[in-house]
Amino acid sequence: MGAGAPNPLYSEYSILNSLKMVPLLLFYAFSVLVQGYNAELTLHPKTQFLFPEGKSLVLPEPSDYFSSQLVSTPLPTNSFFQNFVLKNGDQPEYIQPYLIRSANSSISISYPSQNISSDFIEQIFRPDLTISASKNPKPNQRHVISSYSDLSVTLDLPSSNLRFFLVRGSPYLTFAVNGNTSISISTVDPILKLSCDSSFTKYTIRLRNRQTWILYASAPIHLTDNVSTIKSGGFSGVIRIALLADSDSQFEKILDKCSSTYPVSGSAILGSFALKYKWDVKGAGKLLMLAHPLHLRLLSKADASVTVLEDVKYSSMDGELVGVIGDTWDLEAESIPVSWHSIKGLNKKSIPEIIRALGNDVKTLNASNISATSSYFYGKLVARAARLALIAEEVSYPKITPVVVQFLKDMIEPWLNGTFGANGFFYDKKWGGLVTKHGLNDTTGDFGFGIYNDHHFHLGYYIYGISVLTRFDPAWGKQYKSQAYSLVEDYTNLGPKENQHYTRLRCFDLWKLHSWAAGLTEFPFGRNQESTSEAINAYYSAALMGSAYGDADLVSVGSTLAAFEIQSAQTWWHVKGDNEIYAPRFVKNNKVVGILWSRKRDSILWFAPAERKDIRLGIQVLPILPITEVVFSDVDYVKELVKWALTSVPKNRTEEGWKGFVYALEAIYKQKQALNKVRELSSHDDGNSLSNLLWWIHSRK
């Protein structure tokens, strides 16, 4: 842990808390043993604190698209179907393997091709088939979201008597037709051939673009076609439409065999480093779904109820989607260590240098001199200071701890008390979540926090600071526990049973297994996220807060979400030389994705061009924490990434803060060389400090 004998101050802050962790860890281990590895996680009810209600002038009206029974509950603000409830609701969403667009009382389905360059990959939406009612008295009536879940959304076209069960990973588009309604299916490519079987329940649609679609009906349906339109007589029942992605006869037989079994919704049950998918299935037979590459890697090998069909494949922005038979899946994430201190320990010879840097960094702490009012930059300053206290604890240098603790109190308390006049947290009843004073009447205030952008990024920094402060001053933590949990549950709440004031897992996508950051902004390419490391920090910090408060369930929730976020970053953001998910042209030019969208991969950042590879690396590293060791555990990839980024490191001293992150990763395999570079830096990014960089480099073993 470090050199030097502990004094009474060190004993009070460190040894006491270490002893308090023993029963917590024993309790956590006992809980896993009793409940089972895949048991559903629940957070015990807390005293639920609400920040003052804020009246936003910029938030959209949820009742425009959500059914009346849903608008009285907290609503998702970073969901996979968010475009369906913003503005005109007519931007496509990627519901693997198809793009789905709802407009003018119709649903269009697209099996997207890709536009590929060395700088980006994007899906091209082309409405292959558009489904509507033939005689609709209100053709411009909006759709309605009547229900949603972790893995699905039910979209109704009320004037058309059509209900679409949009379930992620289904190779079929499934919809119910009520009221003996005539339907119309239009195409953008001429129909070459429409044929049916003898029962009139299976039709094959061949288009000039070489696509073949198969339509299955739960009862006989009579279809006729002209050049670009297919029409039916009156029909009531269920229709499923699937692309025949492979002309192999076995592929079609599998689609035929599984066509009568359809999911209407799907849920995800979070366990300890585990996730269970369960679909609500109608019809007789076996359920066919599609798994993305990370699903396939995490599917439990011991689950005999699931069969992977290697020959059933659909292309995807996220890699090949492979067929899986089974209406429940068990996913097992690799467990990760959540530690306050370095995982491998420090080189004892380095401690004097770290202590000198700590002394200099602590001298800069003066809350009265802080000019930042943005919730993001202010939170980063809080977390930066909190790191100093933990590093001091690890190197047995308690002298600075009271200074850091007081600084953290001076910084954090005004936000929790509502006395920080320049800004503050408020509660929005319309969607159900936190907003800031800056965001009440400005969509760009606090980088869009008021319209639910980047919540996990901002709040993760505060939660980190609160966790550290609670570790060193448990009485303070007890005093502010309700406010602390209100912050963390804004993005980690597991549902209304846990906290009725917040939506379920605001940012985390339980199908993609990573977070989205975009909030209530309509984007043609869907949701997006830039910084995976800040997302990881949010859940890692939640786990630390659980540790600080003796809450084993919060430790498990935070740790599990962090583990999934890490594995998603390694799958979709980290672009290794042997990457098979993205096109070779993109892989050759990029070692890390800048902005990852639902249906696009971009090399640019929101605040920097693609050429600034050092910044692109940095935004996937900051803040440097013990958990960073796990994120960048592949040394061969780190070498590729650093070599690539070093080519754009500026030689002047105007942006030295970003250099530190490149050198930090270089230290994983060239410790001395990186150390010398860091010692020469004269400035650091506000999410970092010299003592933190030295701590990181000297913990390389």
327, 428, 509, 534: which one is catalytic? 534
Tokens for 40, please give them: 């559903």
Q: Assign 682 a pLDDT band (cuts: 50, 70, 90).
A: low
258 with 357, same domain: the answer is no
Q: Quick check: is 378 in a domain? A: yes
444 with 589, same domain: the answer is yes
pLDDT given for residue 653 in this prediction: 60
370 with 227, same domain: the answer is no
What would the DSSP string read from start to end of 524-551?
TT--EE--HHHHHHHHHHHHHHHHHHT-
Q: What is the CATH number of the domain that holds 603?
A: 1.50.10
499 with 619, same domain: the answer is yes
Q: Let me know how many helices (H) and strands (E) the chain has, helices first.
A: 19, 28
User: What pTM did the predictor assign?
Assistant: 0.93
pLDDT tens-digit map of 524-536: 999 999 999 999 9
Between CA 572 and CA 685 the distance in angstroms is 26
Q: Quick check: is 319 in a domain? A: no
Domain span at 199: 78-262
Q: Assign 47 a pLDDT band (cuts: 50, 70, 90).
A: low
| The total number of structural domains that make up the chain | 2
pLDDT given for residue 38 in this prediction: 40
For 447-468, give the secondary structure using H, E and C: HHHHHCCCHHHHHHHHHHHHHH
Q: Is the pLDDT of residue 109 over 70?
A: yes
Crossing angle of helices 375-394 and 351-363, rounded to 10°? 140
pLDDT tens-digit map of 583-599: 999 999 999 999 999 99
382 with 497, same domain: the answer is yes
pLDDT tens-digit map of 332-348: 999 999 999 999 999 89
Question: Of the candidates 210, 243, 262, which is a domain's last residue?
Answer: 262
Q: Quick check: is 315 in a domain? A: no
Q: Is the pLDDT of residue 625 over 60?
A: yes
Contact 265, 166 (CB under 8 A): no
454, 490, 553, 666: which one is catalytic? 454
Question: Of the candidates 213, 232, 262, which is a domain's last residue?
Answer: 262
473, 530, 551, 602: which one is catalytic? 530
258 with 400, same domain: the answer is no
Q: Quick check: is 26 in a domain? A: no
State yes or no: is 454 an active-site residue. yes
State yes or no: is 530 an active-site residue. yes
94 with 218, same domain: the answer is yes
State yes or no: is 534 an active-site residue. yes
Cis amide prior to 352 (ω within 30 degrees)? no
First to last CA, the chain: 14
Q: Quick check: is 675 in a domain? A: yes
Q: Quick check: is 294 in a domain? A: no
For residues 489 and 652, the model is more confident at 489
Q: Quick check: is 324 in a domain? A: no
Q: What is the CATH number of the domain that holds 225?
A: 2.70.98.30
Contact 637, 665 (CB under 8 A): no
Question: Of the candidates 222, 247, 262, which is a domain's last residue?
Answer: 262
The residue-averaged pLDDT of 673-693 equals: 83
Helices (H), ranges, 196-244: none
Residues 6+ apart with CB under 8 A from 17: 471, 472, 474, 548
Q: Quick check: is 580 in a domain? A: yes
Q: Assign 13 a pLDDT band (cuts: 50, 70, 90).
A: very low
